[in-house]
Amino acid sequence: MDITFKNVGYTYQAGSPFSHRALNNISFHIPSGSFVAIIGHTGSGKSTLIQHLNGLTIPTEGTVQVGPFILSKEKKEKDIKLLRSKVGAVFQYPEHQLFEETVAKDIAFGPMNFGVSETEINQRIQEVIPKVGLPEALLERSPFELSGGQMRRVAIAGVLATQPEVFVLDEPTAGLDPRGQKEIMNMFYELHQTEKVTTILVTHSMEDALKYADHIIIMNKGEVYMEGKPEDVLLKINELRRVNLDVPESILFLKNYLKKFSLEDEVSVKSIDELADYIQKTYKGDYA
């Protein structure tokens, strides 16, 4: 699903003494099948922005279009429930949303709420369990008997079972150790590639944005501060530091390397391995 924000503004409690301007004149386009990272400090507008994707929040000004669905103050989307079935969201600590007696019932809750038949739900459960790395033997267990990592995978399976066309990930690795973070992010990236869904990742991790995303949107004070390809945006070190954002170590190293050897400042490097490969090739003279 394509996603387009056009001159979107949002004010909490508009018209009251407690009004707060959260978004201001936001415009961008996300092509279907993209993996986009949205980065910014607390209060930059990230969470408010993604709440517009499934109609939890309606823009005060402008329009949000998600596939055929249009959200605006002037036009109420009639098929809001259908929109929400197309946009699956994984929030921070999704395991806190588990409540059913068994893993199977928790996974079934989302599609059941959207009117999917019991036969179809059972089929979907069998499909999503291996995708999130859970054994079928856990289906009749209580989700509260599982490890924290397993509980998170059950919550993610519940989102996948609704068969979304847009996957919204709001700090999905919060609270996990480094190994768990890597496993979960690799799982999301594999799902993005196999399911061909539009994926939007809200994160504080510049490393994850560089490694997984094909486009980055930097938010600051409710506005789009910068956007573009990760390897382009993250080379703008001064601009990032101006809004107190960290720069991945691989990017800092690459910047210094390019400067020292007077090489072009436009290089597509998204990981330590790619950086090592680039340096090896430039050393051998394989790059012009």
pLDDT tens-digit profile of 172-200? 888 888 888 888 899 999 999 998 999 99
Higher pLDDT: 121 or 147? It is 121
0.75 surpassed by pTM: yes
- Lowest average pLDDT, out of 12-21, 201-210, 253-262, goes to 253-262
Greatest Cα pair distance in the chain: 65
Domains defined along the chain, listed by start = 3-244 (3.40.50.300), 248-288 (no CATH)
Mean pLDDT of the 2-30 span: 93
Residues 280 and 288: their CA atoms lie apart, in Å, by 13
Instruction: State which amino acid sits at residue 86.
Output: K
Per residue in 151-176, pLDDT tens? 989 999 999 999 999 999 998 888 88
- CB atoms under 10 Å from CB of 266, counted, come to 9
Average pLDDT score, the chain: 88
Strands 61-66 and 223-228 turn out to be: unpaired
| pLDDT cut 70: percent of the chain above it | 92
Per-residue pLDDT tens over the stretch 30-77:
999 999 999 998 889 999 999 999 999 999 999 999 999 999 998 877
Find out whether 24 and 222 touch, Cβ atoms under 8 Å. yes
pLDDT band at 273; cut points 50, 70, 90: low
